[in-house]
Amino acid sequence: MTRLQITALVGFTGVLLGALGAHGSLHDHVAALDRLPQWETAVRYHLLHAAALLAAALVPAGETARRLRLSFTAWLIGILIFSGSLYVLASTGVKWLGAITPIGGLSLMLGWLGLWRVR
């Protein structure tokens, strides 16, 4: 799968999960648990970093694209861990996942620091 295809999938799932959390039975379930703010945070970071993935994926092949791989990978891992743990926490109430959420946040930050190397 190419980086652009991965980005398309990440963006699609961000919009889908945002819609599911805003409407219908999932919204009612998450709202009943008083965890709608956690869901909204997950969607916000998911979609923000999907845009960052898109920017990185669109850089033409070459030295700059190679240097962006670290950021791309860190952002992808961060979305999976940070937003993923918040989605599960918000929808199930499994509290131990809150302990791994900061690992995802650290990965998102490392992705941004990875841009320091890009010229």
pLDDT in tens, 105-117: 999 999 999 999 8
pLDDT of residue 98: 86
pLDDT of residue 32: 87
Return all residues near 38 (Cβ < 8 A) that are at least 6 apart.
86, 89, 90
* Residue 37 to residues 26, 44, 51, 53, 90, Cα–Cα distance (Å): 14, 10, 21, 24, 8
Q: What is the DSSP letter of 81?
A: I
pLDDT of residue 119: 74
Which residues of the chain have a pLDDT value below 50? none
Half-sphere exposure of 68 (CA within 13 A, CB side): 17
The whole-model pTM stands at 0.93
